[in-house]
Amino acid sequence: MTQTRQAAPMILMEGVEKWYGQFKALTDINLEVNSGEKIVLCGPSGSGKSTLIRCINHLEPIQKGRIVVDGVTLGHDTKSIDAVRRGAGMVFQQFNLFPHMTVLENCTLSPLRTRGLKKDAADALARKFLARVQILDQAEKYPAQLSGGQQQRVAIARALCMEPKVMLFDEPTSALDPEMVKEVLDTMVELARDGMTMIVVTHEMGFARQVADRVIFMASGQIVEEEPPEQFFQAPKHERTRKFLGEILRQH
């Protein structure tokens, strides 16, 4: 890392290793993300980028190394896992909205259950974030009544309702029809402008160019290259990065 460190990083990963049985999914991951930084993670499928962000909120337990999120060292105990998860919002590729709850209920669930908010306060909070992702008019509908893009914006609002310190995006536009990608990316760009700390797994290189402070390229469970977007796109150092960029950019 080239930046100077003023304060403790928002996210710290040190020597992280992750195994699925005999398969080593992550090898010696070292990563620091400062408050307000936006990181784009890319790489070929199976490179471990989704696994990496899923380790940050302990959806995947790690076997070796250390993860610290906002000063909390992630262990296997409920207390540290709760603390980390409540400070990290996550947006999934398949939205994962709860089909039997309205948009509003999806958003108020966590504030009601994990932060002890009263219903009025939780509703007000949810409406604020639904307005921010421009979907407040759909608050009483069920997920199945919305388009994919709308659903993903609800999922972003739902995560924001936790008022997290960091937002994790796991291929947020990969399951969307092309015409809906933009509305979700626009929402994310706006979030980035407001200073949210973000780690985004995506192949949307336009987004990376526009908002990323650093672009990280992964392959075979390792971080291969880590650069600000200008260097990353204009002068990638590694052969694997060049090859990957060639393939990705040809499609766009």
Partner 1 sequence: MAYKFDFGAIWEAMPQLLAAGLGTLGLAVAGSLLAIVIGIGGVVLRDSRLAPARWLVMSFVELIRNTPFLVQIYFIFFALPLLGAQLGQLLAGLGLIARPTNYLLIGPWPTAVIALGLNGGAYAIEIIRGGVQAVPKGQWEAGAALGLHRATVFRLIVLKPALRAIYPSLTSQFTLLTLTTSIAGAIAAYELFSEAKFIDSQIYKPFEVYFTITVFYFVISWFMNQLFQAFARRYFSYPTK
Binding region for partner 1 (CB under 8 A): 57, 59, 78, 82, 85-86, 88-90, 92, 94, 96-101, 109-110, 113-114, 142, 144-145, 158-159, 162
CB of 155 to partner 1, least distance (A): 8
Task: Read off φ and ψ for residue 10, nearest 5 degrees.
Answer: -65, -40
Q: Which amino acid is at 175?
A: A
The residue among 57 and 241 lying less far from partner 1, judged by its C-beta, is 57
Q: Give 167 or 205: the residue with its C-beta nearer to partner 1.
A: 167
Place of tokens 């069920």: 142
Shortest distance, position 244 Cβ to partner 1, whole Å: 27
Nearest distance in Å: CB 84, partner 1: 9
Q: In the bound complex, what is the minimum distance in angstroms from residue 67's beta carbon to partner 1?
A: 15
Residues with Cβ within 8 Å of residue 46, at least 6 apart in sequence:
none
Pairing of strands 38-42, 64-69: unpaired
CA–CA dist 122, 151 (Å, integer): 20
End-to-end CA distance of the chain: 30
104 SS3 class: helix
| C-beta of residue 62 within 8 angstroms of C-beta of residue 55 | yes
CB 46 → partner 1: shortest distance, Å? 18
- Judged by beta carbon, residue 109 or residue 136, the one nearer partner 1 is 109
CB of 85 to partner 1, least distance (A): 4
Q: Are strands 38-42 and 214-219 parallel, antiparallel or unpaired?
A: parallel
Q: How far apart are CA 69 and CA 173, in angstroms?
A: 25
Which residue in 58, 157, 152 sits closest to 104, CA to CA? 157
Nearer to partner 1, 154 or 181 (CB): 154
Residues 6+ apart with CB under 8 A from 134: 153, 187
Residue whose C-alpha is closest to residue 136's, from 124, 127, 144: 127
For the record, the structure tokens of 205 come out as 């290189």
Q: Which is nearer to partner 1, 91 or 223 (CB)?
A: 91
Nearer to partner 1, 96 or 222 (CB): 96
Question: In the complex with partner 1, which residue's Cβ is closer, 112 or 223?
Answer: 112
- Name the minimum Å distance from CB 92 to partner 1: 6
